[in-house]
Amino acid sequence: MTVTLYELCGSDPARPFSPHCWKTVMSLAHKGIDFRREQVPFTAIPEVEDGVGKTVPIIRDGDTVVVDSFEIALYLDRTYPDRPSLFKGEGGQAMARFVESWAATQIHTVLIGRILLDIYAMLGEPDQGYFRESREARFGMPLEQAAEVGARRFDLLRERLDPMRMMLKRQPFIGGGSPLFCDYILFGALQWARVTSPAQLLEADDPVAQWFETCLDLYDGIGRSVPAAV
């Protein structure tokens, strides 16, 4: 049976960009599960699976519908224990929870300012209205001002990735010798920026950039299936 993945897109359905949806893409590929991808714009999310979730990713696996990238990963490991594990036990789950919190508070928060207007430009007209209204309410200022403020903080990205650089001196992935869900969390964040914005995040010789390039090549290059923004 093929799993259906609902993932976020803009006006071009060939360019899905959500960091959380990319976590699920990599999780399904990691498990070797056949899946088909259904692209959904922001304003169509309430129509997915009878409004089961307010956000994507959402998957349908037979009669089961699961919302949220972390919950999906847990479900995949429980349901397909004979396939490669995404966590390798409770310790891996706990580690992934930490990486998720670190990425959300330290990485997403500096990326969003730089790519905010690039995301807006990718959206169709109905989604642009939704995105502007919801993000201006979140940031408490006009979208353009939020992007300007955020862009001034963008240089913090390199510093905040220092723990990753130190780790890469000792092992090739956060998961150790091979990637786990914790790797896909950070991958999703960097892929979000790669697909939405032409901004150069890191120098080519940066160990984190090299790790990211390796992740792009995983599973027959599924990460490269969407070209970088230009």
Query: What mean pLDDT value characterizes the chain?
Result: 97
Question: Among 79, 104, 126, which residue terminates a domain?
Answer: 79
112 band by pLDDT with thresholds 50, 70 and 90: very high
Summarised one tens digit per residue, pLDDT across range 46-55 is: 999 999 999 9
Q: Are residues 34 and 135 in the same domain?
A: no
**C-alpha dist (Å) from residue 118 to 46, 107, 131, 173, 210:** 24, 17, 12, 29, 24
Rounded to an integer, the average pLDDT of 72-89 is 98
At 81, is the secondary structure helix, strand, or coil? coil
221 by Cβ neighbours in 10 Å (0-12 / 13-18 / 19+) ranks as exposed
Averaged pLDDT, 142-156 = 93
* Domain shared by 114 and 72, yes or no: no
Q: Sorting pLDDT into bands at 50, 70 and 90, what band is 1?
A: confident
Residues 36 and 63 in one domain: yes
Q: Is the pTM of this model over 0.85?
A: yes
> And the tokens for 177?
């010798």
Domain span at residue 45 reads 3-79
Give the C-alpha distances (Å, rounded to integers) separating 48 from 10, 71, 115, 226.
16, 17, 26, 23
How far apart are the C-alpha atoms of 69 and 74, rounded to whole Å?
Answer: 9
Mean pLDDT of the region 92-112: 98
Whether the per-residue pLDDT at 10 is higher than 90: the answer is: yes
Looking at the structure, tell me whether residues 107 and 218 fall in a common domain: yes
**217 and 151 in a common domain:** yes
Please tell me whether residues 30 and 141 are part of one structural domain: no
CATH code for the domain in which residue 155 is found: 1.20.1050.10
Total domains in the fold of the chain: 2
Domain-ending residue, one of 79, 111, 130: 79
Residue 60 DSSP symbol: E
